[in-house]
Amino acid sequence: MAASYAELTRHLLDETPEERAVLALFAELVLAQGGGPVVDVGCGTGRITGHLRKLDLDAFGIDLSPEMIDVARRDQPGVRFDIGSMTDLTLADASVTGLVAWYSLIHIPDGAISSVLTHFRRVLRPGGPLLLSFHVGDASKLKTEGYGGHPMKVHVHRRQHDQMIEWLNEAGFAVETHKTLTSAESKLGGIILARRQP
Ligand SMILES: C[S@@+](CC[C@H](N)C(=O)[O-])C[C@H]1O[C@@H](n2cnc3c(N)ncnc32)[C@H](O)[C@@H]1O
């Protein structure tokens, strides 16, 4: 499934200028903070990590799935990719300047989001930008097949911006901008750019 996912998503960014624009804004904000490490949490096959590196960021990736990490290491030789969970991030406090979670919080149940965002705040330097994308909506579903017809068992949670912003504020983030894209895989894609409060 990881190899199919890489094939199916490899060109997605080429087709979504809005996503490239927000990633470019994120990169500019990181560089304005003096640069430094950027972590792509739930990096999957590393397509966003690779894009961030093309934007001159010192980006590395973390993902729960060893198979996704294998493909990321194959596709982005020389780039750091670690196996790990965002529910228990082992990065040191204030060790990254920026953090991206691109369509990965969608797999985290409501009850664990606050804990994950607390980890995000802990590892980010004060003022560091946080970029999230997610599927907009109310329903959650259990995905049993996908990415080329492979069987899987993965929960996908759709959320509204208001809920995400409330969780972010409670975790110590200030939301700077948010938007809804209709171009993301023909579904509603939510994007939020926030910053770690001091
Ligand atoms: C829809 S994919 C998105 C991958 C990548 N960000 C992209 O945009 O191509 C979601 C990814 O989140 C990862 N994931 C799910 N739960 C995770 C967790 N608790 N910690 C880290 N990664 C997780 C999955 O393994 C998967 O690679």
Cα(129) to ligand 1 centroid in Å equals: 19
Cβ atoms < 10 Å from Cβ of 165: 16
The pLDDT of residue 2: 87
The pLDDT of residue 181: 86
Ligand 1, atom 13, residue with closest C-alpha:
42
Residue 69, pLDDT above cutoff 60: yes
Cα(65) to ligand 1 centroid in Å equals: 8
Q: Which of 45, 104, 117, 185 to mutate to test the pocket of ligand 1 (most atoms within 8 A of CB)?
A: 104
Residue 184 — pLDDT band, cuts 50, 70, 90? low
The pLDDT of residue 119: 98
**Tokens encoding 170:** 């409670």
The pLDDT of residue 164: 97
Q: How does the average pLDDT of the chain come out, rounded?
A: 94
The pLDDT of residue 11: 87
> Where along the chain do its domains lie?
2-196
| For residues 26-41, average pLDDT | 98
Q: Which pLDDT tens digit goes with each residue over 82-127? A: 999 999 999 999 999 999 999 999 999 999 999 999 999 999 999 9
The pLDDT of residue 185: 55
| Atom number in ligand 1 closest to CA 116 | 19
Residue 186, pLDDT above cutoff 80: no
| For residues 14-33, average pLDDT | 95
67-72 long-range contacts, CB within 8 A, separation 24+: 67/1, 67/2, 68/2, 68/5, 68/43, 68/44, 70/2, 71/2, 71/3, 71/5, 71/6, 71/45, 71/46, 72/43, 72/44, 72/45, 72/46
Question: Cβ < 6 Å from ligand 1: which residues?
Answer: 9, 42-44, 47-48, 63-65, 68, 85-87, 102-104, 107
Angstrom distance (rounded) from CA 6 to CA 38: 21
| For residues 16-40, average pLDDT | 96
| For residues 56-70, average pLDDT | 97
What is the dotted CATH code of the domain comprising 2-196? 3.40.50.150
| For residues 154-175, average pLDDT | 96
Sign of the alpha-carbon torsion through 19, 25, 29, 31: positive
| Atom number in ligand 1 closest to CA 101 | 6
Among residues 50, 3, 1, which one has the least CA distance to residue 27? Answer: 50
| Atom number in ligand 1 closest to CA 12 | 9
The pLDDT of residue 58: 98
The neighbouring-strand residues paired with 67 are none
Beta 98-102 vs 81-83: how paired, if at all?
unpaired
Would you say the pTM of this structure is higher than 0.75? yes
Q: What is the largest CA-CA distance in the chain?
A: 45
